[in-house]
Amino acid sequence: MSKDLKDKTPAELEQIVTDLGGKEYLAGYIFSFIHTKNAPAIADITPLSKAFREQLGAQGYFVSQLKTVEVLADPDGSRKYLFELGDGERIEAVLLRDGQRQTLCISTQVGCAMRCAFCATGRIKLRRSLTAGEIADEVNQVEADAGKVNNIVYMGMGEPLENYDAVLKSVRILNDKSGKNIGIRHITVSTCGIAPAISRLAGEDIKPRLAISLNAPDDALRARLMPINRTYPLSKLFAAIGLYQDKTGQRVTFEYVLIDGRNDSETHARALIRRLRGISCNVNLIEHNPYAGCHLAGSSRDRIAQFASLLKEAGIETVTRFKLGRRIKAACGQLQAGYGPQKTSK
């Protein structure tokens, strides 16, 4: 079991505190100092007595902290953060600014096993999943640099629902009123389509927004772009989405990366309209962003506009997401932190 206090919910901290003979309320100080004051070590949780802090340390408990290796700023206002984990692995997170609103795109794994053709992260072998504490700490470190984050999107490196337990635990940590207190309607979990996990998510007592990376209206094309479709074809995926909506009543967002000559024709648009008929949803059309070695090209702005127009005419709420952060390789599909694990100093 992890000894990282940043990886614990308030209830788990209460159990740790009472097991050590402390008063239950002390757990609130621990959680608050870690997640609102970004306390880097147990010694910095000053409402605890020195003796109790020493007792926690003697039991092997500690507070992890990501190391910020590099911050890149794009003239469009977005910022990319390169973080180093305790074992030397590295991940990236991206901060997007829209007026006073700040949205943080966070990672859940080092690398990704999904191998989507349009995504740079898919070219990196999956090395490991992040803990809930590491995921939440992306928010802590970005806020320390750039101020309050208003929205969280689990759309960075990795497939969130392949790290289900840690992701849901991190959602609980970030949503907790005694910590970041980020409203659950301001937290979105994106998936490439892990159908059983979508069904499982439908039964949770906490319900973040759900986004599905779709990118094709039929199985043959989607399987070429997204190998996960061979395991969970559209029939299984949409059955899980139907169950999710029946249980939650929530609208689903579909993400659709437009690739020149592959999935961007009028025929594709009309097939997508048929596929989404009867589903409470909105569509985010995403401009494909290039990366080294990618053989795909993004659709023209005219083609994107035509595709969007067809969806809107069919009554589907549609938003087009253009290339924020592309100049610093922070745009959708460009994250790869392909620096390799770093050797930690002794």
Does residue 266 have an active-site annotation?
A: no
CA distance 197 to 190: 12
Q: What is the DSSP letter of 23?
A: -
Of 178, 176, 200, 177, which is closest to residue 189 (Cα–Cα)? 200
**Token couple for 210:** 């759900």
Q: How far is CA 78 from CA 55, 187, 314, in A?
A: 42, 19, 33
CA distance 116 to 193: 12
CA distance 316 to 190: 19
From the candidates 112, 119, 192, 332, give the one annotated as an active-site residue. 332
CA distance 312 to 327: 30
**Token couple for 93:** 């997170």
From the candidates 14, 92, 143, 255, give the one annotated as an active-site residue. 92
CA distance 92 to 89: 11
CA distance 171 to 162: 15
Residue 116 has a CB neighbour count (10 Å cut-off) of 21
Chain center to CA of 130: 11
Any residues with CB less than 8 A from the CB of 50 and at least 6 apart, and which? none
Does residue 287 have an active-site annotation?
A: no
Residues involved in catalysis: 92, 332
